[in-house]
Amino acid sequence: LSDEQYVNVVRDVFGVTLAGADTEITTGKSVTGEYSNMSEQVGVGTPEAESYERAAAELAPLIVAKLPSLVPACGEAIDAACIESFVRDVVPRAWRRPLTDGERSGLVQIYTDAAQDDASTAAATMIEATLESASFLYRTEVGMEAANAQGAITLSTHETASALSFMFLESSPDAELRAKADDGSLASPDVLAAQVDRLMALPESRAAMTKKVSYWADAERIPLVQKDTGLFPAWTPELRDALYGDVQAQLARVVATGAITDLISPFPIETDPSIVAVYGGTSRPAGLLTHPGILAATDHRQGLSDPVHRGLYIYERYVCGSAVASPPANATSIAAGMQGTERERAAQRAKMSCGVCHARFDPLGLSTEGYDPIGLDAPNVDSSAIISGLGPDLDGAVSGLGDVAVKLRTGRRVADCAAGALEKYALGYSPEAEQSCALRDVKNAFAKSGSFLDFFRALALSPAFRSRDARNP
Residues 335-364 that bind another protein (CB under 8 A): 336
* DSSP states along 185-236: GGGSHHHHHHHHHHHHTSHHHHHHHHHHHHHHTTGGGGGG----TTT-TT--
Phi/psi zone of residue 268: left (φ > 0), alpha (ψ -120 to 50 degrees), beta? beta
Closest CB 110 distance from another protein, rounded Å: 5
Number of residues that bind another protein (CB under 8 A): 71
Neighbours of 40 (CB within 10 A): 10
Neighbours of 472 (CB within 10 A): 15
Closest CB 327 distance from another protein, rounded Å: 9
Closest CB 88 distance from another protein, rounded Å: 17
d(CA 403, CA 401): 5
| Beta carbons of 5 and 166 less than 8 angstroms apart | yes
Closest CB 401 distance from another protein, rounded Å: 21
Tell me which residues in 185-204 interact with another protein (CB under 8 A).
Answer: none
237 binds another protein (CB under 8 A): no
Closer Cβ to another protein, 97 or 211, answer by number? 97
Candidate segments 15-23, 201-209, 234-242, 430-438, binder of another protein by CB under 8 A: 15-23
231 binds another protein (CB under 8 A): no
432 binds another protein (CB under 8 A): no
146 binds another protein (CB under 8 A): yes
User: In Å, what is the CA distance from 262 to each residue of 114, 266, 275, 285, 410?
Assistant: 60, 8, 21, 11, 12
Closest CB 430 distance from another protein, rounded Å: 13
Residue 267: what are its φ and ψ, rounded to 5°? -150, 150
d(CA 136, CA 142): 15
Closest CB 130 distance from another protein, rounded Å: 9
22 binds another protein (CB under 8 A): yes
The DSSP code for 259 is -
18 binds another protein (CB under 8 A): yes
Closest CB 35 distance from another protein, rounded Å: 12
31 binds another protein (CB under 8 A): yes
Residues 6+ apart with CB under 8 A from 134: none
Closer Cβ to another protein, 151 or 396, answer by number? 151
Angle among Cα 256, 267, 389 to the nearest 5 degrees reads: 95
Closer Cβ to another protein, 143 or 363, answer by number? 143
Closest CB 261 distance from another protein, rounded Å: 29
d(CA 342, CA 332): 15
User: In Å, what is the CA distance from 410 to each residue of 44, 133, 155, 264, 415?
Assistant: 44, 50, 38, 11, 10
Closest CB 220 distance from another protein, rounded Å: 12
Strands 384-387 and 283-284: what pairing? unpaired
Candidate segments 208-216, 352-360, 455-463, 465-473, binder of another protein by CB under 8 A: 465-473
124 binds another protein (CB under 8 A): yes
| Beta carbons of 130 and 107 less than 8 angstroms apart | yes
Closer Cβ to another protein, 82 or 260, answer by number? 82
Question: Which member of 34, 183, 344, 432 binds another protein (CB under 8 A)?
Answer: 34
Site string for another protein, 35-74 (x = CB under 8 A): --------xxxxxxxx--xxxxxxxxxx------------
Burial (Cβ within 10 Å: 0-12, 13-18, ≥19) of residue 105: middle
386 binds another protein (CB under 8 A): no
433 binds another protein (CB under 8 A): no
Closest CB 49 distance from another protein, rounded Å: 4
229 binds another protein (CB under 8 A): no
d(CA 372, CA 382): 12
Tell me which residues in 93-122 interact with another protein (CB under 8 A).
Answer: 103, 106-107, 109-110, 113-114, 116-117, 121-122
133 binds another protein (CB under 8 A): yes
Closer Cβ to another protein, 72 or 328, answer by number? 328
d(CA 73, CA 335): 69
C-alpha closest to that of 245 among 293, 316, 181, 174: 293
Angle among Cα 472, 431, 429 to the nearest 5 degrees reads: 70
Question: Which member of 5, 37, 125, 250 binds another protein (CB under 8 A)?
Answer: 125
Question: Which member of 77, 101, 134, 273 binds another protein (CB under 8 A)?
Answer: 134
Candidate segments 20-28, 84-92, 202-210, 413-421, binder of another protein by CB under 8 A: 20-28
326 binds another protein (CB under 8 A): no
Tell me which residues in 151-170 interact with another protein (CB under 8 A).
Answer: 153
